[in-house]
Amino acid sequence: MSSSYTNYTNSPCAACKFLRRKCTPDCVFAPYFPPEEPTKFANVHRIFGASNVSKILQEVAPHQREDAVNSLAYEAEARLRDPVYGCVGAISVLQRQVLGLQRELEETNADIMRYASCLGGETTSFCGGQRG
Q: Which of helix, strand or coil describes residue 48?
A: coil
The CA–CA distances, whole Å, from 13 to 7, 20, 25, 64, 80 equal 8, 10, 10, 19, 22
123 binds a second copy (CB under 8 A): no
Interface characters, 3-42, with a second copy (x: CB under 8 A): ----------------------------------------
8 A C-beta contact, residue 18 and residue 38: yes
Q: Is 116 an interacting residue with respect to a second copy (CB under 8 A)?
A: yes
Q: Which residues contact 90 (CB under 8 A, 6 or more apart)?
A: 78
Query: Cβ of residue 95: shortest distance to a second copy, in angstroms?
Result: 7
Residue 104 interacts with a second copy (CB under 8 A)? yes
Contact 74, 87 (CB under 8 A): yes
Span of 3-11, 12-20, 31-39, 106-114 interacting with a second copy by CB under 8 A: 106-114
- Choices 10-18, 22-30, 35-43, 54-62 (CB under 8 A): range interacting with a second copy: 54-62
Q: Is 122 in the site for a second copy (CB under 8 A)?
A: no
